[in-house]
Chain A
Amino acid sequence: MAQLDEASTVAVQPKDQKKINQLWRIAGILAIVTAIEFALAYILPRGPLLYFTFVALTLVKAFYIVAEFMHLKGEVKVLIWSILIPTIFVIWLIIALIAEGSSIFDLKF
């Protein structure tokens, strides 16, 4: 019972409206970027230009999610780099497997 009484005295700190507005703004940016991608799928003809734009906009969204929502921005530098540097393997895999894919294509057709 003593524990319950103690729990009820926890002080709730006041809302930081600026911080909350900032979070909604980022959600707005993500929604707008998605809407742009959606519109571009209708407007631009399919081709390298469109694909490049899609990838660029995806990276913009990924940046906002990781930096702001997951708050990687606010972590110490060593932690940021130890998460970001290993993704270099992903870039290697993209290059390796796309080359492999076109090679399989040449063998098949």
Chain B
Amino acid sequence: MATTTTKVEDATTIWGGGNAPLNASYGKLMMWFFLLSDAFTFSSLLISYALIRYSWPAYDGAVEDFVFSQEYWPIPEKVFDAVPLLHGVSLPLVFVGIMTFILILSSVTMVLAVEAGHRMDKKDVTKWMLWTLVGGIAFLSCQAWEWSHFIHGTDEGGLMPDGSIFYGANLTQNQYGPPLFADLFFFITGFHGFHVFSGVMLNFLIFYQAAVGVFERRGHYEMVEKVGLYWHFVDLVWVFVFTFFYLI
């Protein structure tokens, strides 16, 4: 963290630079504003989902009798009800719930790494960064499985408008409902997954630099804090994706 000078500036020199009115370093401020712009991007994606969903008929029967159809928007919990190793068992949202817990846990290990950085504790920073990496990689692996399941489909498949049976989903055909549902799934969770992937790369860089003592020589661990902001943001976005894509 930058040490702020408490030198009294008079009105004529305050515009001359050399002070930090927001009490945060340049890099941290830029990370905040980048995240704000990224929040706009994700909002646009999720709100587009709402727009497209609102422009399709909703399924209006009983939830128990729900079947996949090209005529109406699917109930997400009926689409995402598979769990690895439990083939054919319907467990709505269980796997996504596990993924959410993994991301929350990797977020807390990240904040513990930041805390250790404030104490100049190299050993703890490396330890918690390593756990954060494990969480991020676990999340990405879960997502890979979920995508694979979504793409390959269920045993029954779904009836297409031309009368054929199609299994799974791609960008033009989708057994679970309108093709746009699959497109939005790929775009929204894919864009988030790519953020997680970049986050894992950045976390690895920070882990490595902390381990070899770059930050210790520099005298502060602010890079951990900046990358931490990004990593928490990825968790924050997942909280919204979980609600608006999977729950509602």
**What's the dominant secondary structure at chain B's contact region?**
helix
In the complex, A11→B55 CA distance in Å?
61
Question: Interface centre among A41, A42, A86, A104, by most B CB within 10 Å?
Answer: A41
**What's the dominant secondary structure at chain A's contact region?**
helix
Question: Mind listing 12 A-B residue pairs with CB under 8 Å?
Answer: A10-B120, A12-B121, A14-B119, A15-B119, A30-B107, A34-B97, A54-B247, A58-B239, A61-B239, A65-B107, A66-B232, A79-B29
B240 touches A58 (CB 8 A): yes
In the complex, A91→B209 CA distance in Å?
40
Chain A interface size range: 35 or more
Chain B interface size range: 35 or more
With contacts A13-B121, A27-B107, A78-B21 known, is A7 near B47, CB below 8 A?
A: no
B92 touches A93 (CB 8 A): no
Q: Which residues of B contact A19 (CB under 8 A)?
A: 115
In the complex, A6→B44 CA distance in Å?
50
B22 touches A12 (CB 8 A): no
Listed in ascending order, the chain B residues whose CB lies under 8 Å from chain A are 21-24, 29, 32, 36, 39-40, 43-44, 47-48, 50-57, 63, 75, 77, 92-93, 97, 100-101, 104-105, 107-108, 110-112, 115, 118-122, 213, 216-217, 228-229, 232-233, 235-236, 239-240, 242-243, 247-248
Q: Which residues of B contact A1 (CB under 8 A)?
A: none
The answer, yes or no, to whether A49 is at the interface (CB within 8 Å) is: no
Q: Which residues of A contact B21 (CB under 8 A)?
A: 76, 78
A7 touches B108 (CB 8 A): no
